[in-house]
Amino acid sequence: MPKIRVVLAVLLLVPMAATAQRGRSRSGATSRTDMFSDDPAARRGIAVTSGKLRELNPLAILIDKRGDLALSDSQLTQIRTMNDSLEGVDREAFHALDSLNQQLNNLGSDPSPGEQDRAQTMRTLVRMITRTTRERYDAAESKARGLLTGDQQQKADDVLHDAHDDLARLAGRAGR
């Protein structure tokens, strides 16, 4: 009897799910050409997100790679404390960044001059948040490096190299 109920539920839910997927996508596009505009500015999208900045947090990366760095318990505890403090400071900035990105994404394809000015102001704010976050990350990383031995600092250079490149790229792209 339970198998029949499962089969009936599947038979009812599959057509409903297929029907729900028809029509417009989340972007509002009804065809591929609507979704992928020829306008380079529309294709570029938002380069800086709070999620991406969180991924580039050097303290979180050091904590994640603690085994490769051979961090002692006291070093790990101090870096975690510094990371918690940094995340507390970044929380409001990242919330603002998410709001700005949402507002920028909600602008129409043909914004009025007033909306264009507002979008430029929002892009400036995104750039400021990104630069401020980068400065905080640099200061926090410098502090954390003071806790590391020479060998650990060399390994930290290797571990953080890609994050530094990505953060520099995002900070540069935020200005565009």
Ramachandran class of 110: left when φ > 0, alpha when ψ lies in -120 to 50, beta otherwise = beta
Give the model's pLDDT for residue 110.
77
Give the model's pLDDT for residue 114.
85
Residues 160/61, Cβ–Cβ less than 8 Å: yes
Whether this prediction's pTM lies above 0.85 is answered by no
Strand, coil or helix: what is 19?
helix
- Tell me the pLDDT of the chain (176 aa) as tens digits: 555 665 555 455 555 444 444 444 445 555 444 444 444 444 444 468 888 889 889 999 999 989 999 999 999 999 999 999 999 999 999 999 999 888 888 877 777 888 888 888 988 898 899 889 989 999 999 999 999 999 999 999 988 888 888 877 776 655 44
The residues spanned by each domain of the chain are: 44-173
| Nearest Cα residue to 143 out of 46, 56, 59, 27 | 59
- DSSP per-residue codes, 82-113: HHHHHHHHHHHHHHHHHHHHHHHHTS-SS--H
Looking up tokens 């839910």, which residue turns up? 13
Give the model's pLDDT for residue 101.
87
CA angle 107, 112, 114 (to 5 degrees): 95
Give the model's pLDDT for residue 42.
41
Whole-angstrom distance, CA of residue 95 vs CA of residue 116: 22
Query: Residue 49: is it exposed, middle or buried by C-beta count within 10 angstroms (0-12/13-18/19+)?
Result: middle
Give the model's pLDDT for residue 40.
40
